[in-house]
Copies of this chain bind each other. A is one copy, B any other.
Amino acid sequence: MTTTIKDIAKAAGVSVTTVSRALNGYSDVSEKTRKKIMTLAKELNYSPNTLARGLVMNVSKTIGLLVSGLNRESEKDQIIFSILSGINSSASESDYDLVVFNTNSSKQREKTYTQLCRERRVDGVIIQGIKTDDPYLLEVVESDIPCVLIDIPVHSDNVGYVTTDNVAGAKKAVEHLIELGHRNIAMVNGHSKAFVSKKRLEGYKMALEESNIPVNQEWIYNGKFEEHSASLAAKELLTKYPDISAIFCASDLMALGVITSAKELGLRVPEDVSIIGYDDILLASYATPPLTTISQNFYQLGFQAGQLLISMLDGKTDPQVITLGTKLIVRGSTTSKSF
């Protein structure tokens, strides 16, 4: 049998009220009875029932996690894992626990976002990896559940977000290529339903325009953030348009696929074609050649998301938008254009 507050009350000869107030550090209980209750609680191995507490206090001290990509496919980039680690770190600094929702099964998808959150009575939610056309997104804004989004720019009374400066990051990448003398720069983007893709495309165009290089729409492909799709895209790009001397990829995973294609076509990387990625995943430095890329700190992304949500829940701050920086990491997959 699990001991309840009643058992302690009986054993101590006081009311449950007093036990509750003693355990919670209220001032209107004498030091003597508090001591007695405390030791009794330890002796009886008491642990409070958070369900009961949550029911009456209307808080659960839990944070819901709506992460897409906690599955086999995304083992290759450790992105989700890093974000998760960051969130977990921030949660363990306070006394929140994380509950990860089951959203990948189609069955569960019948539940609306609000249902999901309210059933578990989570105090707030962190959402990652949902697409721009996901119906959940609308609900997030409409509901009154505190929420922090990762890489999705939605800002309201109760939802903030944390992201990196994708425009600047992409711009930095393309500028690096331009500085190396490249002018025929293609792009392998993710997909149109991703916010980051839009932003990175923006940065790509901006960099080109600032150097008076015309943007060629035919040189922009979508690789769905997948290695294989990107590989196919690159094959088409490089055979159709042999003028291309550099490719900017919206993710490292896609860059790896692009490198494979280039090699298969008999092109040397970086001598014949320079390739730059985005993310700086672990594999980037192990690839051959090691990948030049834009580094973003996913752990920090998750950590900040957690911090923000918790401080919102504790009423310390209003929903904010936090933008992290990126860093150009020059490795071996880019070099100056040969003439």
Contact = CB atoms under 8 A, between A and B. Distances in A.
Given A95-B102, A108-B92, A51 B60 contact: yes
A290 to B, nearest CB: 10
A75 B85 contact: yes
Contacts of A326: none
A72 B105 contact: no
Contacts of A100: 88, 97-100
Contact of A78 (B81, B99, B118): B81
Interface string A135-168: 0000000000000000000000000000000000
Interface string A51-71: 110110000101000000011
Contact of A92 (B95, B104, B114): B104
Interface stretch (A23-31, A280-288, A310-318): A280-288
Contacts of A103: 92
Interface string A74-100: 011010111011001101110111111
B62 A99 contact: yes
A134 interface: no
A39 to B, nearest CB: 16
A97 to B, nearest CB: 5
Interface stretch (A41-49, A189-197, A233-241, A266-274): A41-49
Assembly stoichiometry (copies): 2
Contacts of A120: 50, 97
Contact of A47 (B45, B62, B115): B115
Interface size class of chain A, counting residues whose CB lies under 8 Å from the partner chain? 35 or more
A121 interface: yes
A299 B73 CA distance: 11
B45 A49 contact: no
Contacts of A283: 282-283, 286
Given A98-B100, A99-B98, A70 B84 contact: yes
| Max count, chain B CB within 10 A of own CB: residue among A54, A80, A102 | A102
B102 A99 contact: no
A133 interface: no
Nearest to A89: B71
Contact of A102 (B50, B92, B102, B299): B92
A258 B9 CA distance: 60
A4 to B, nearest CB: 11
A210 interface: no
13 contacts: A45-B114, A47-B119, A49-B119, A71-B89, A75-B299, A76-B282, A78-B78, A92-B103, A92-B108, A95-B102, A98-B99, A99-B99, A286-B286
Given A55-B55, A98-B99, 6 more contacts: A47-B114, A47-B118, A75-B78, A80-B81, A81-B84, A84-B84
Interface of A: 2, 45, 47-52, 54-55, 60, 62, 70-72, 75-76, 78, 80-82, 84-85, 88-89, 91-93, 95-105, 108, 111, 114-115, 118-121, 282-283, 286-288, 299
